[in-house]
Structure 1
């Protein structure tokens, strides 16, 4: 599908072109969405250059993504798009910047692209020439990457609170002044009667899944920003001489924004790894506590077992067997033998 954005006296309007149809005069931007071979050849003949195929676009080496043919620049960068199933994924967007026309080639349908196209139709000055259209699309890509990073940051903050939250019930107690009035309030925590609600292993598994999704999305954004950073540097060298002062300033601002987002994404990746390690540590602590409970129970029942074993022997001369209170005495010894280790463990702070 080929869409031509044409400028005339009435402003800017979009026109869908049929296969083989000539490009209208005044076209400043051609958008190729899922182009077939016929459409690719049609635009190639129009620009007198060989447009890249989908296989060419998918190549990862820089020389295949950023290059020039005569006065036409070819630039491909990864972008973040929402797939049909819902999650955000990585797509590719190719800019073909000619002196009198901008061509975009894409096999994805990102929402931000449609939003920019709709804005351009309302505000024709956004696409008054190919360079303006190119810069506007780059700004839209950077804004989308920033929005995704902000969303991931908010998700990580929420997950961090779930992992490191203080699971204690707090009560608010008023402070009374000398005149009997309440002057301020403070939080009071009764450490002896506090009710702790530690996160469960199931909830921590959910946190790990969420952290993994955040880390995967961060990596996709970092990939997109790395491609944008290389593209901006290439565009500054190739298209810079054709830009006016304002356009050069916009491209420089885009470069600074991309660089700052790259640093933020790197910090966010470190935060993701830290949060993942912390979550695994919480799970290990929970599992250790479970093992500790079984260990304490085993130690607590060993002395009663010893008492029961002694009085379960079949020796003939065991005077306690003939005592009237022998049975209650044995039971009492077993209870005391169980409570003794528990009291000792609690005194040492092991429970």
Structure 2
């Protein structure tokens, strides 16, 4: 699927592209490719002179190749974006999805295998809020900003989930069945917390690279610093949740041992 976004008065207007001719008549600021076909990649090459590699979103890509700048000024970034288990319509649960970004000739190109909540959030905001976006770099920064906010919301969900687990663990009697259910719930929350920690770490690296690349203007540079501060505030929450998870795990195992004895 190929979607282009044009900019008018700071608002993004989305159009799904079905033919090469339709792509030739738009001047986008953002081109989003979700599970693109070879034909759609050829349209991009013909229209913008940009060749998109087949392995652009491979998970085994070397770390040194995730953030770099070409001699012609193209900026390449590979970032992971979180999908919380509650939003996984296919039942696959929480996961991190790799997204490839290319800043080429004042247009942002994004390539990913499936639709992402963060992208939907930005599209909704950019349609409703005027003067939110001025150029392609603003789109990228707003995506990372929304990613940090989405991670914070997921952390709040973990807090709520662990409160329910705590109520069960600290009740007067915990039998083997209840303990098994508690351990399964704790394991899910621990997995999600770990994915959030990895996600914000990856976002921090991407923002730091953009700031070092000197492509951001003064206002965008300050916005990137603010996003980094927001991400830093999430670290203490993930650390606290890991401690709480370990406590609940130890308490549950202790009850199991008592029952066995």
Q: TM-score range by the shorter chain?
A: 0.7 to 0.9
Structure 2: tracts of 5 or more residues without a match: none
Q: Of the two, which has the highest radius of gyration?
A: 1
Query: Secondary structure of 2:13's match?
Result: strand
Instruction: Tell me, yes or no, if structure 1 residue 208 matches structure 2 residue 209.
Output: no
Give the equivalent residue in structure 2 for 1:37. Answer: 38
Give the equivalent residue in structure 1 for 2:52. Answer: 51
Q: Distance in 2 between matches of 1:53 and 1:259?
A: 34
Bigger RCO of structures 1 and 2 (CA < 8 A, at least 6 apart): 2
- What is the correspondence of 1:11-160 to structure 2 with a 5 Å cutoff? 12-21=12-21, 22-54=23-55, 56-69=57-70, 70-81=72-83, 82-86=87-91, 87-160=93-166
Q: How many angstroms does 1:147 deviate by?
A: 0.7
Q: Structure 1-normalised TM-score?
A: 0.67
Q: How many angstroms does 1:207 deviate by?
A: 0.4
Is the CA contact (8 Å cut-off) linking 1:79 and 1:91 kept in structure 2? yes
Is the CA contact (8 Å cut-off) linking 1:66 and 1:231 kept in structure 2? yes
C-alpha spacing 1:63/1:43, structure 2 compared with 1 (3 Å): farther
Query: Secondary structure of 1:14's match?
Result: strand
C-alpha spacing 1:259/1:8, structure 2 compared with 1 (3 Å): closer
C-alpha spacing 1:157/1:11, structure 2 compared with 1 (3 Å): closer
Q: How many angstroms does 1:107 deviate by?
A: 1.1
C-alpha spacing 1:53/1:248, structure 2 compared with 1 (3 Å): same
Q: How many angstroms does 1:9 deviate by?
A: 7.1
Q: How many angstroms does 1:61 deviate by?
A: 2.3
Is the CA contact (8 Å cut-off) linking 2:78 and 2:98 kept in structure 1? yes
Deviations 1:62-81 (A, max 9, x none): 22221222311111111112
Instruction: Tell me, yes or no, if structure 1 residue 237 matches structure 2 residue 209.
Output: no
Q: Distance in 2 between matches of 1:57 and 1:233?
A: 22
C-alpha spacing 1:11/1:251, structure 2 compared with 1 (3 Å): closer
Q: Distance in 2 between matches of 1:142 and 1:38?
A: 34
- What do you get for the CA RMSD once the two structures are aligned? 2.2
Q: Distance in 2 between matches of 1:133 and 1:155?
A: 33
Q: How many angstroms does 1:153 deviate by?
A: 1.7
